[in-house]
């Protein structure tokens, strides 16, 4: 009698059909003297993060910074010019003076630097004028420069460079143990035999409501990809190192190790709400996830977006186009009368019985040395946060 074997994992096809890889490998022809002779473009933190996301395939099918036709199509239609779903313009801005210096190099290679170090190249195919006002209105739904994404948009250069990129080396950084490319995450999923994987995006420390969503999802799928964003965020967000400490502490004590994978997502935060939710989902498809959690005010900031706008925007696409299943969850909180975590779907009690703390209020309490209630976050996580803020 033979025992049945589990079917091999069938990971979702990357967006566009193939996982892009534009990372330099030994044997590629890069002459050091020739490289040093190329004009250079210094990358901001966000552009450097975009370079990695492009080159490792996280932003497949993009192979580089967007040209004008794709840029306008993304802004106006939520799609690349060939019809592929995409919602954020991934562009490389420079100022007018720098653009003038580079005009004679159209059709040639440009050296990319970050912090003065050579990090990659751009095959410069286009230069075109940014439409800041249009981009702000359509992508961020506001021209208010109090919005961090809009402020960053207007602070950057007014000319965009376009073309395929090459990254010299994946910058593993301070979270090297958890820093995996899309192909590496796919390899872990395959090795663990997960048929279905749910990804969760976060830029905040995990609290009990997040944990509730994860474990409800784990009743439906084989594995959880906990995928915190560790790229550039706004100044008052909890620092990435503190958040990672909190994630590791929580996972060690409260999550099934064989069914959970903690891996960092190196993108920069844009705070584009619904638009950003789409890219967060599509890129997780490229990492091998079959499902993606979208909760309350995903990728939002302030009151610029409706509570569930980031869920509603996915109705602009078919399930086949997205290639990843969206799990929509309502706002979750602790109810004192129910004595458990609930949502508006399951709790009959008035809001006065609900424990709800905003990220801003959590940071205020931590700075003041106040304790976080155990109904809001695990005591071990609260202690990690308290130590970080008190130091």
**Residue 170, both tokens:** 């994946």
Alpha-carbon Rg for the chain, nearest whole angstrom, is 22
| Mean pLDDT score, 295-318 | 95
pTM > 0.75:
yes
Would you state the pLDDT for residue 389?
A: 84
State the CATH number of the domain containing residue 41: 3.10.400.10
- Cα 73 to Cα 62: distance, rounded to the nearest angstrom: 14
Q: Which pLDDT band, with edges at 50, 70 and 90, does 311 fall under? A: very high
**154 & 225 share domain:** no
Catalytic (active site) residue 203: yes
* Cβ contacts of 66 within 8 Å, gap of 6 or more: 74, 89, 90, 91, 160, 162
The least confident of 171-175, 245-249, 341-345, 354-358 is 354-358
CA distance 391 to 387: 6
Residue 170's nearest CA partner among 180, 156, 178 is: 180
Residue 189 has pLDDT above 60, yes or no: yes
* Predicted confidence (pLDDT) per residue in 44-68, tens digit: 999 999 999 999 999 999 999 999 9
Task: In whole angstroms, give the CA distance from residue 382 to residue 390.
Answer: 12
Per-residue pLDDT band for 29 (boundaries 50, 70, 90) equals: low
Separation between Cα atoms, residue 70 and residue 65, nearest integer Å? 10
187 vs 33, which has greater pLDDT?
A: 187
235 and 361 share one domain: yes
Confirm whether 6 is domain-assigned.
Answer: no
Report the share of the chain in percent with pLDDT over 90: 84
- Segment 117-127 shows an average pLDDT of 96
Query: How does pLDDT run across 142-155, given as a tens digit for each residue?
Result: 999 999 999 999 99
- Same-domain status, 135 and 239: no
The pLDDT-based confidence of 356 (bands split at 50, 70, 90) is: confident
What range defines the domain where residue 47 resides?
Answer: 32-167
H/E element holding 327?
strand 325-328
% of the chain surpassing 70 pLDDT: 97
Tell me which residue has tokens 């790229």: 231
Specify whether the CB–CB gap between 202 and 244 falls below 8 A.
no
Residues 160 and 91 in one domain: yes
pLDDT over threshold 50, residue 300: yes
The label of the residue with tokens 């106040």 reads: 370
Q: Does the annotation mark 286 as catalytic? A: no
Residue 149 and residue 256 in one domain: no
Residue 4: predicted pLDDT: 54
Domain finish residue from 167, 187, 217: 167
Cα three-residue angle 215-182-29, rounded to 5 degrees: 170
pLDDT at 2: 44
Considering only 19-33, 36-50, 145-159, which range has the smallest mean pLDDT? Answer: 19-33
| Catalytic residue (choose from 21, 192, 204, 363) | 204
Residues 172-179 have a mean pLDDT of 95
Token look-up 């580079």 returns 102
Q: What is the pLDDT of residue 237?
A: 84
> Residue 360 pLDDT more than 90?
no
13 lies in some domain: no
- Residue recorded with tokens 């638009």: 275
The b-or-e profile of 336-358 (16+ CB within 10 A means b, else e) is eeeeebbbeeebeeeeeebeebe
- H-assigned helices in the chain: 32-36, 45-55, 68-77, 96-102, 132-135, 148-155, 182-192, 208-218, 240-254, 274-286, 309-312, 319-322, 359-367, 379-390
- Give me the torsion for CA of 52, 280, 8, 220, rounded to 10°: 150
The whole-angstrom separation of Cα 365 and Cα 117 is 40
pLDDT at res. 1: 42
103 plus 196 within the same structural domain: no
The structural domain count of the chain equals: 2
> Which of 119, 134, 167 is a domain's end point?
167
- Report whether pLDDT(321) > 60: yes
Q: Catalytic: which of 109, 203, 275, 284? A: 203
Average pLDDT over every residue of 74-78: 98
Are 143 and 200 within one domain? no
* 9 has pLDDT over 90: no
The predicted model gives 222-229 an average pLDDT of 97
Q: Which of 109, 135, 167 is the last residue of a domain?
A: 167
Residue 135 has pLDDT above 70, yes or no: yes
Assess whether pLDDT exceeds 80 at residue 345: yes
């Amino acid at each position: 009698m033979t025992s049945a074997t589990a079917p091999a994992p069938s990971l979702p096809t990357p967006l566009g059909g193939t996982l892009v890889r534009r990372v330099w490998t030994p044997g590629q022809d890069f002459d050091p003297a020739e490289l040093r002779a190329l004009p250079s473009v210094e990358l901001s933190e966000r552009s450097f993060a975009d370079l990695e996301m492009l080159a490792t395939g996280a932003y497949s099918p993009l192979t580089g910074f967007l040209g004008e036709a794709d840029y306008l199509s993304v802004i106006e239609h939520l799609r690349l010019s060939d019809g592929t779903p995409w919602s954020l313009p991934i562009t490389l801005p420079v100022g007018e003076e720098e653009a003038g210096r580079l005009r004679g190099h159209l059709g040639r290679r440009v050296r990319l630097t970050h912090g003065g170090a050579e990090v990659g190249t751009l095959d410069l195919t286009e230069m075109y004028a940014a439409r800041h006002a249009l981009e702000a209105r359509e992508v961020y739904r506001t021209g208010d420069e109090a919005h961090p994404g809009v402020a960053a948009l207007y602070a950057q250069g007014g000319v965009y460079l376009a073309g395929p990129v090459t990254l010299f080396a994946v910058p593993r950084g301070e979270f090297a143990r958890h820093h995996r490319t899309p192909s590496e995450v796919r390899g872990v999923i395959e090795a663990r035999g997960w048929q279905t994987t749910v990804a969760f995006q976060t830029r905040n420390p995990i609290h009990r409501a997040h944990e509730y969503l994860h474990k409800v999802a784990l009743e439906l799928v084989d594995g959880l990809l906990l995928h915190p964003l560790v790229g550039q965020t706004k100044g008052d967000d909890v620092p990435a190192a503190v958040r990672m400490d909190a994630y590791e502490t929580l996972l060690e004590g409260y999550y099934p190790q064989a069914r959970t994978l903690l891996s960092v997502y190196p993108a920069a935060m844009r705070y584009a709400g619904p638009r950003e939710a789409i890219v967060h989902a599509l890129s997780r498809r490229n990492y091998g996830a079959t499902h993606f959690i979208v909760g309350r005010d995903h990728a939002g900031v302030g009151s610029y977006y409706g509570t569930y706008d980031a869920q509603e925007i996915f109705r602009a696409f078919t399930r086949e186009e997205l290639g990843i299943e969206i799990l929509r969850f309502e706002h979750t909180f602790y109810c004192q009368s129910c004595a458990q975590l609930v949502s508006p779907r399951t709790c009959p009690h008035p809001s006065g019985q609900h424990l709800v703390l905003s990220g801003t209020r959590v940071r205020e309490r931590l700075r003041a040395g106040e304790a976080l209630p155990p109904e809001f976050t695990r005591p071990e996580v609260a202690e990690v946060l308290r130590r970080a803020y008190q130091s």
